[in-house]
Amino acid sequence: MSRTPHTWRAIGSVALCLSLAHDAHAALYNITDLGSLGGTKGSGGYSFAAGIAVGYSFVAGTDSVHAMINDHGTVLDLGTLGGTQSLAWSVNSSGDVVGWAYPPGVDRQRAFLWRAGSMIDLGTLGGERSDAHAINDAGLVVGFAFNGDGHERPYWWKNGVMHDMGTLGGTGGDALGVNAAGDIVGWASLPGDDESHAFLAKPGGPLYDLGTLGGPASYGWAINDLVHVCGWSMIQDNVPDSRGFIWADGIMKSLGTLGGIYSSAYGMNNLDEVVGNSTRPDWVQVAFLWRDDEMIDLNSLLPPGTGWLLTDAYFIDDHEVIVGVGKRPDGKTRAYMLTPAVTTSVPGTGATLRFAGATPNPVRGDARFAFELPAAGRAELVLHDLSGRIVRELATGWFGAGPQSVAWDGRDIAGIRLAPGTYFARLTTPQGALTRRFVVFR
């Protein structure tokens, strides 16, 4: 195969998929009430890992909420940092839990890490308040904390040290999600603090602005291991309409709504399945599942006669377990967990060619391109610039069926680091060709 830098190949008209293709299927879910701590105002669920669901519950006989976990069916109160209230946002596979709690005698929240039965105050950046929104399996915690000037700042915390992540030029921000590799998403204000945009960053690195869907504000809520992001964005200035989005390969895409004016995306898995909430045409807010470019009312996937109204979905894992908040038939607000009861392939479909694109994306140094072949065969992976010129031929040859991964050192044919900008990776196989956009960022 020619290696000349003057080789040109037309990409042609390419439809860029923003999610991994996967086997078409329809699922019916079983619903589990995750319980409560006895309070009449109910409970809510936000995350799940290793058989542990986390969230909050009102405490019996009070108007206070406490961080609650459901550990393989056993409901536990995590307590507080000595004050009256707490809430759990996230749990990792080791059972470490993060959230916020009140210290003694004050009603200002402080970020906590609950590990091995003990709740630890993570501190602040010099101000009075902080919160911990997410934790990965490496123990990297992200959230917000106020600094000494009274500004809310995104942070990452590990091994006892809290680090200010900075902003996009303004004074404030918040880190809301982190993946296994330590990629962090959230929101940060721009110069003048008139706009706040979703960002993507690494610990110790600069914030990359993900933009918006047209309005002045967007938030990045969750990030998967493909470095794809979901969240919420305004679509115009001074209008109430807003949309959940998925950001992948450098492009932010609206998820639409269930017929109403609003949607927001809060969780996603490595299949690019997204969950959140949306209003319907009757203005009722319901939980949704988005996959294969379709938003589905999660209530339509419950067995008939359950009587639940699922209003919010905050988490989905790779086994399609979903955690959120809904109303039981008796009207009580409760944390719930959905687990797939039946999964059936759609007739006529089989294994699917998948191409995840670059990981991480944006690319700041080395990267990998993951793909999956439905059958063994010849495959070619080529990188192009926006004009269609080949900048690097990464792989060509025979590959086995199943998951594959090709490493890239960030350099072109001549061994020079690619300049910052937008590029395309094209995978060509006997089953078809897929193209993914990626961004190089220095």
Per-residue confidence (pLDDT) for residue 351, from 0 to 100: 57
What number is the average pLDDT over the span 94-101? 97
Ranked by mean pLDDT, which of 104-113, 143-152, 400-409 comes out on top? Answer: 143-152
Which pLDDT band holds residue 388 (cuts at 50, 70, 90)?
Answer: confident
Q: What is the pLDDT of residues 316-347, one digit of tens each?
A: 998 889 999 999 999 999 999 999 874 433 33
Tokens read off for 421: 């900008």
Instruction: Indicate if the pLDDT at residue 7 is higher than 70.
Output: no
CB atoms within 10 A of CB 324: 27
Q: Percent of the chain at pLDDT above 70?
A: 91
Q: What percent of the chain has pLDDT over 90?
A: 70
What does the domain layout of the chain look like in residue ranges?
26-345, 354-440
The answer on pLDDT for 19 being more than 50 is no
Q: Which residue has the tokens 């040859």?
A: 397
Specify the pTM. 0.75
Q: Which strand ranges, in their side-by-side order, compose the sheet holding 141-147?
A: 126-135, 141-147, 152-158, 161-164
What average pLDDT does range 294-298 have in this prediction? 95
Residues in contact with 130: Cβ distance below 8 Å, sequence separation at least 6, in sequence order: 100, 109, 110, 111, 122, 123, 124, 143, 144, 145, 146, 155, 162
Lowest mean per-residue pLDDT among 42-46, 155-159, 181-185, 234-238: 234-238
pLDDT at 348: 33
> How far apart are alpha carbons 315 and 53 in whole angstroms?
10
Token pair for 38:
């006895």
The residue with tokens 């900048």 is 391
pLDDT at 11 over 60: no
* Residue 354: band (very low, low, confident or very high) from pLDDT cuts 50, 70, 90: confident
- 26-345 belongs to CATH 3.30.70.1150: no
Region at 171 (left for phi over 0; alpha for psi -120 to 50; beta for the rest): alpha
Residue with the larger pLDDT of the pair 26 and 408: 408
Domains 26-345 and 354-440 share a fold: no
Give the Cα separation of 244 and 260 in Å (integer).
Answer: 12
Is the confidence at residue 229, as pLDDT, over 50?
A: yes
Q: Is the pLDDT of residue 357 over 90?
A: no
Residue 402: what pLDDT?
85
| Strand boundaries in 15-170, DSSP class E | 25-33, 38-49, 52-59, 65-71, 74-77, 86-91, 97-101, 110-115, 118-121, 126-135, 141-147, 152-158, 161-164
Query: Contact 165/201 with Cβ under 8 angstroms?
Result: yes
Per CATH, domain 354-440 is 1.10.1060.10: no
Mean pLDDT of the chain: 89
